[in-house]
Structure 1
Amino acid sequence: MRRFGRILLWLILLFATFAYGKFQGGFAAWFMFYAAVLLAVYELGTARYALRDAKSERRLSSLKINAGQTLEVDIVIEIEGRKWPLPWLVVEDTLPTRLLLQSGSNRELHFPGYNRKLRLTYSLPNMPRGKYVLGDTRLVTGDIFGLTKKELVHQRTDEVTVYPKIIPIPYWHTINKFNIGHTNAQNRMAEDSSNVIGVRDYAQGDRLSRIHWRASARTGSLKTKEFELHVTNDMMFFLNRSEDAYRGGSNQLFELAVTTVASLLKHASSKKYSVGLTSYGRERVTIAQSRNFEQYLRIIEHLAIVQADGADEYNDAILREVNHLQRGSTIVLVTPVLDQPLVQLIGFLEYRKIKAELFYIVGGRQLNEVDLSHMGKLEMLGVHTYVVRDENELEDVVRGPISYASNG
């Protein structure tokens, strides 16, 4: 309807100037008519041919990055076929609301004229964790008088996954005394001759590398090396996603908790530990323990979108899942809440020979006497307590737990 109304107005203008030229006559009257004709042709050409054969392509520096990194966006516009001069062109990339504050300039004004190629480049620094969909690209142009505007929308969707920030952890002192002798190490690429504890008769299927040639020559029959059994940790991470636990605190406190879990998982996975995750939020997610790298990727994918939106009690989630853990497993508790019920629960788990390690997420908050008392009780139970204030200090935190004297 707007287009029809615009055409009707131009027809009225042309008819009026033509009638005026016929009635008035003279150079000025007819000049107005011919000027109106030229202007109408220009406006019609702009409406019809501007951006008619325009194409655009969006290139992203990566579709998968870690939180805190920068996403580079490059949009290339190419105008093919019939060329119509563009006095101005606005290029706008559609971003999710959460990323609008990250963008320096996802909207830019160009004066292309007869240029066939244009480019819009912008950056999204310090990307927050999550999954984001970058939407359509809008091209808007018009005439030099501002009478006509033409918009072209190139529909597209690019999904960008921002994984949690991972702090390199070269060392984490975690030993489960309940696990010794229960779980054999997996994915061992070669035997360590320093761990030979004896020899036995050769059995069909033994590898040649395991034959003890000196013992075989001495006894006259093939002997096979017996190696010491290696043990490893089976770890289940419990992330506190209770909405009440983070109420009153900033979103950075939960981000610190997620960063802590992701960093510890990365370290444990690199050590070939069996890892799993329990994450009770709006949906209950439990990822079973495994050493497969695909399992680690599955956990990281979940941590990319996880939010503090749970209604379940953290202690209830722990009790519900520990019964399904492998014998000798270590549970790693990551929580911003340390209270008496949690201390009692950890004591109950220790009684059942389930080792626990606690990462207490405090952010910038100072520890009070109640915190120190709870930590002292956990220390008497033999539970390692790590106080996490800042992600940049995480590497130093896991080098060894801090000792706290109990006040009660």
Structure 2
Amino acid sequence: MFILWVFLFALAAIYGQGRMFKRFVLRELSYQRKFQQHTCFAGDEIELVEQLENRKSLPVPWLRVESQLPAQLQFRQGENIEVSSGSLYQNHRSFFSLGSYKRLTRTHHIKALKRGCYRLNSVTITGGDLLGLHLLQTQLQLNDELIVYPRIADVPFHLLPSRSMQGEYAVKRFIVPDPFVVAGSREYQPGDSMKQINWKASARTGELQVHHYDFTAERNMLILLNVEDKELMWRSVTNEPIIERGIEWAAGIAAAVIGQGMAVGLATNMPLVKSGLDSTRIEGNRGHEHMLLLLEVMANLQLSSTETFIQLLEYEASLGYTNCDIVILSAYWNDALELASAELRGNGNSVTMWEIPRADSDTRSAESSRQDGEGISA
């Protein structure tokens, strides 16, 4: 009879604690997960912080926190976390146990393997009784983001367009005529604007003269990046590593140019993630803030084609701008692209083509590139 009472009491205790934990285990419980920093470069290691707080007198015997992250965010080995990784995404679980009115913080070390924009969307929290017989589950929405910039490639800056140089060194500014600085007059040439005519000098010499302007530091550079990894590519990129390397080279060129105090812009036949099917174009500017803008744009580029690169070159030529140093980054080059780039040269721009390196042959590839239709040597 005593054993029966003990058995009944045990059943009542198991049932009672199960009902109690099922009802209260997730109450007055808060969970936060965030990146310790919101920007980094590919290859950097950052911290992911989890914080769990129990704001009630009832202890929490166990909690399981499950979530999904892109596989490009790699957890350091030995972390107190269970990870099941696939090719695109990884599922991971964290286990907690909290006493009454306790707060627990865990810091995980994550390596960002690839550029991109990564969001923390939601987590699923599961709790239960002491024996795990009764489970209660809830889902929390998170709102945190990590922007991983592309690596900045070490580009051969001395091979950039010669119009950006003066003498044996790169000047702090690009050199173009300044219409506000008149240095004299010269004979009229076909193509000169009527606004440039110097009537006094024309009357004095008996020949049509125009103002001769001095030069100032306002030349721009434009990077044209081709997403097509081969000729006749459709929409999808098959050789992703080479296009990723092209993005890294674009970042390297932008950093080198801005580091010299110059202005730089970017145009590519790639769309931004979740921005539709439009090509991406950033007007030229200078300074640290503009470099951060370019890096963020490059982090969000989607590896798909919005238009052919020939169409992009034709559009750039149709804009009619002049006095711009243009650097083309492409995995291939052919006569059709050469013809399209000739229109940009005809507008008064310098055009340099760099083939995107396919391996660790950055300098060799740059040395085999073309500037204004001619080879460049280091």
Q: Is the 8 A contact 1:49 1:84 kept in 2?
A: no
* Equivalence for 1:60: 35
Separation in 1 of the partners of 2:153 and 2:359? 19
Residue 143 of structure 1 and its aligned partner are, at CA, apart by: 2.4
Q: 1:124 aligns with which of 110, 115, 131?
A: 110
Residue 258 of structure 1 and its aligned partner are, at CA, apart by: 0.4
Residues 357 and 40 (structure 1 numbering): CA distance in 2 closer, same or farther, change over 3 Å? same
Separation in 2 of the partners of 1:233 and 1:382? 22
* Equivalence for 1:354: 349
Residue 300 of structure 1 and its aligned partner are, at CA, apart by: 2.6
* Equivalence for 2:68: 95
Percent of aligned pairs sharing the same letter = 18
Q: Deviations over 1:340-376 (max 9, x none)?
A: 3223444554455421112211313999xxx99x958
Task: Check if 1:381 corresponds to 2:355.
Answer: no
Q: 1:161 aligns with which of 125, 128, 147?
A: 147
Q: Is the 8 A contact 2:73 2:112 kept in 1?
A: no
Separation in 2 of the partners of 1:100 and 1:301? 18
Task: Check if 1:319 corresponds to 2:314.
Answer: yes
Residues 361 and 44 (structure 1 numbering): CA distance in 2 closer, same or farther, change over 3 Å? same
Aligned partner letter, 1:91: V
Q: 2:93 aligns with which of 104, 107, 112?
A: 107
Residue 58 of structure 1 and its aligned partner are, at CA, apart by: 2.4
* Equivalence for 1:43: 18
Residue 324 of structure 1 and its aligned partner are, at CA, apart by: 2.0
TM-score, scaled to structure 1: 0.66
Residue 243 of structure 1 and its aligned partner are, at CA, apart by: 6.4
Aligned partner letter, 2:228: S
Q: Deviations over 1:132-190 (max 9, x none)?
A: 11122333222232211123433221011112222456943434449985256xxxxxx
Residues 300 and 325 (structure 1 numbering): CA distance in 2 closer, same or farther, change over 3 Å? farther
Q: Deviations over 1:304-323 (max 9, x none)?
A: 11123115221221121123
Separation in 1 of the partners of 2:372 and 2:262? 27
Separation in 2 of the partners of 1:365 and 1:290? 30
SS, match of residue 228 in structure 2: coil
Separation in 1 of the partners of 2:43 and 2:159? 27
Separation in 2 of the partners of 1:28 and 1:270? 84
Q: Is the 8 A contact 2:74 2:111 kept in 1?
A: no
Q: Is the 8 A contact 2:317 2:347 kept in 1?
A: no
Residue 251 of structure 1 and its aligned partner are, at CA, apart by: 1.8
Aligned partner letter, 1:95: Q
Q: Is the 8 A contact 1:234 1:275 kept in 2?
A: yes
Residue 125 of structure 1 and its aligned partner are, at CA, apart by: 0.7
Any stretches of 5+ residues in structure 2 without a counterpart? 82-91, 166-173, 184-213, 271-276
- Aligned-pair RMSD on alpha carbons? 3.7
Separation in 2 of the partners of 1:82 and 1:111? 14
Any stretches of 5+ residues in structure 1 without a counterpart? 1-25, 185-196, 198-227, 385-400, 403-408
Residues 182 and 380 (structure 1 numbering): CA distance in 2 closer, same or farther, change over 3 Å? closer
Separation in 2 of the partners of 1:60 and 1:380? 46
Q: Is the 8 A contact 2:55 2:100 kept in 1?
A: no
SS, match of residue 172 in structure 1: helix
Q: 2:257 aligns with which of 243, 256, 268?
A: 268
Q: 2:280 aligns with which of 285, 288, 305?
A: 285
Q: Is the 8 A contact 1:176 1:328 kept in 2?
A: no
Q: Deviations over 1:264-312 (max 9, x none)?
A: 1122123232222212233222222333655444333221111231152
* Equivalence for 1:182: 176
Aligned length: 315
Q: Deviations over 1:211-243 (max 9, x none)?
A: xxxxxxxxxxxxxxxxx8444531111110236
Say which structure is richer in helix. 1
Residues 349 and 51 (structure 1 numbering): CA distance in 2 closer, same or farther, change over 3 Å? closer
